Amino acid sequence: ITDSSGAQSIVTVSSTTKTVGDVIDAINLATGGTVTAQLSRSGDGIELVDQAAGAGTLSVAEISGKTATELKLFGSGVVGGDGKQVIDGRRVLTIDVLATDTVNGVIAKLNSQGGRVRGAAVNTGSLVSPVKLGFNATFSGSRGDFVVEDPNNVLGVEDAAVGKDAVLRVGNTNSNAYFLTSPTNNFNNVVTAVDVSIKAVGSSPTSVTISRNNASISQVVSDFVTGFNSVLTTVGTLTAFNTATNTRAILQGEAAALRIQTSLSTIANYRNSGATGDIRSLGDLGITVTTGGQLEIDSTKLNDALTASPDSVVAFFTTDKTGLGKQLEALTKSLTDSIDGSLTTTTKSLESTATTLTGQIGRIDTRLGLRRQRLTLQFSKLETILNTLQSQGNALTSFTEQLKNSK
């Protein structure tokens, strides 16, 4: 779930999620209140309401499975009557069409409900009533199929199209052929690691030739180097000490940040002893360590390695347990694991310290407030005593004057 501020939350729906209430609780827990999940107004689905009030668009995407689609929450939100973006998963959308409603008025009523059907004005070009009301599903394929019930024939709905999935037959004989369906024209993993996009209905088999794309592999390696250097630069900036101004960055001396630098240095110099072939280090791919631990890539040497030993390059990154990719995965988990990751524990420790300090400040403020009250009361009492003494002094002075005058 991505709220309007761009913040993303991951909601996991597992076998322990039994009821609609469980799903709603899981969403509200994951989003932390930036997106509110609740029963739809019609009571037949889940409604998501954006509370972030950002400039972006509320949206829901699938990481795996079809849960969001089946709950009719997959897609983008629309602005509701209260000005907040809404994704409404209810099955039925009901609008009342009045005799005074215009086509655009009916469209506004329908679209404001945030369901899976949108209305749009269609200009037919006719000389009489050229503008018609059209209905479109927000999803393609069978998942976008819908029915318009207009018992009084107010809208005059006709030419309704039925949503259908695309069908792809793989294999050219009846004995080995199988069929795949997709709500779009895209099919993933038709065969291992091969995605297919279909363009038109075919009347005869189409042969597909699969070859290695070294350019895309080279780009992935280049992206890895860029990302590695970016992280190292960020950590370096946050842990630096400016000798000219004698000032330190916010994380200077922080153990967790220094641990990241050390771990990245280990990755840069890693040698995969379990890899097969002649690619066992980043240096064999033309990637060398330069000033400050930054990586530099020799594109010519990388392309030569991909051409001469493509399987060895793949093995270097993907070999189980010893591959560089597995090492990065283990490093990332050790840093960010939600239970015992070093960054997680450091964050929790800092939050605990901040909470403790906040509590101490609160208690000190309370004591200072009480002391102020006590000092104010003491001052008031002293003022009263001083005024009394002044009154008594004035009385004695007057009495003394009277005694003098009586002699």
What does 116-140 look like in DSSP terms, one character per residue? SEEEEEEE---SSS-EEEEEEESS-
| Cβ contacts of 16 within 8 Å, gap of 6 or more | 22
CB 75 within 8 A of CB 62: no
pLDDT in tens, 208-235: 777 777 888 888 888 888 988 998 888 8
CB 73 within 8 A of CB 89: yes
| Cβ contacts of 38 within 8 Å, gap of 6 or more | 24, 46, 47, 49
Residue 131 binned pLDDT confidence (cut-offs 50, 70, 90): confident
pLDDT of residue 338: 80
pLDDT of residue 366: 92
Percent of the chain with pLDDT over 90: 13
pLDDT of residue 91: 66
- The span from the CA of 75 to the CA of 87, in Å, is 8
Would you put residue 14 in left (φ > 0), alpha (ψ -120 to 50) or beta? beta
- The span from the CA of 94 to the CA of 112, in Å, is 11
Tokens coding 217: 């592999």
Mapped onto helix, strand or coil, the DSSP state of residue 75 is: strand
Evaluate if residue 114 carries a pLDDT over 70. no
Amino acid at 333: K
Tokens coding 167: 């069908």
HSE-CB for 162 with a 13 A CA cutoff: 3
Mean pLDDT of 156-179: 80
pLDDT of residue 344: 83
Using alpha carbons only, give the angle 312, 293, 215 rounded to the nearest 5 degrees. 35
* 279 vs 114: which has the higher pLDDT: 279
Evaluate if residue 361 carries a pLDDT over 90. yes
Mean pLDDT score across all residues of the chain: 84
User: What single-letter DSSP state applies at residue 93?
Assistant: -
| Cβ contacts of 355 within 8 Å, gap of 6 or more | none
Tokens coding 369: 């407030």
